[in-house]
């Protein structure tokens, strides 16, 4: 089974990095194997406690890089363009193929192709505003 590299962001501000092979947005939980060398075993993650699950290219990223929060005029994209404001003030900009306000969450592909995030699953309960661009 394919292991996805993810960063889990809780609504309370905690962050956990690791791998998962059983994330499904239709299930209330999934399992994560923490990336920290000292961590052992698997942790059950409850979607109801999360802000988002970020599927990342690598765990370190580039802290000095400021991700663009807009689409370039020449940029061709698939899906609907969204601007998402989270409860903690973070703003995510990207495209989605399946946003519906009444669903528990939705996938978002970042507008910035240089983002360390390949995509993220945003938990609807952690969102204050969704704007179509």
pLDDT of residue 73: 86
Please give the radius of gyration of the chain, using alpha carbons only, rounded to the nearest integer: 15
How far is the first Cα of the chain from the last one, in angstroms, to the nearest whole number?
36
- Which residues, in sequence order, are CB contacts of 57 under 8 Å at separation 6+? 5, 116, 117, 118
Q: List % helix, strand, coil for the chain (3-state, nearest 5).
A: 5, 45, 50
CATH 2.30.30 correct for 4-56:
yes
What pTM was estimated for this model as a whole?
0.93
The values of phi and psi at residue 96, to 5°, are -140, 150
Average pLDDT over residues 12-37: 93
pLDDT of residue 39: 66
How is the chain split into domains, by residue range? 4-56, 80-132
pLDDT category, 26, cuts 50, 70, 90?
Answer: very high
Q: Percentage of the chain surpassing pLDDT 70?
A: 97
CA 26/CA 104 separation, integer angstroms? 8
Look at residues 78, 63, 82 and name the one whose alpha carbon lies nearest to residue 129: 82
CATH number of 80-132: 2.30.30.100
What confidence tens digit (pLDDT) does each residue in 51-80 have? 999 999 999 888 899 999 999 888 888 899
- 83 token code pair: 């601007």
pLDDT category, 1, cuts 50, 70, 90?
Answer: low
- The CA-atom distances, in angstroms, between 122 and each of 46, 64, 75 are 13, 24, 23
Q: Are 4-56 and 80-132 the same fold in CATH? A: yes
Average pLDDT over residues 4-19: 96
């Amino acid at each position: 089974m394919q292991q996805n590299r993810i960063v889990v962001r809780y609504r309370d501000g905690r962050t956990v990095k690791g791998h998962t092979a059983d994330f499904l947005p239709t299930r209330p939980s999934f399992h994560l194997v923490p990336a920290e060398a000292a961590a052992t075993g698997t942790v059950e993650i409850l979607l109801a406690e999360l802000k988002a699950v970020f599927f990342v290219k690598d765990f370190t990223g580039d802290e000095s890089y400021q991700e663009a929060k807009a689409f370039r005029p020449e940029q061709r994209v698939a899906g609907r363009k969204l601007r998402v404001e989270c409860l903690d003030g973070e703003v995510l900009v990207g495209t989605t193929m399946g946003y519906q306000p009444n669903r528990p969450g939705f996938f978002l592909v970042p507008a910035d192709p240089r983002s360390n995030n390949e995509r993220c699953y945003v938990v609807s309960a952690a969102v204050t505003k969704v704007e179509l661009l």
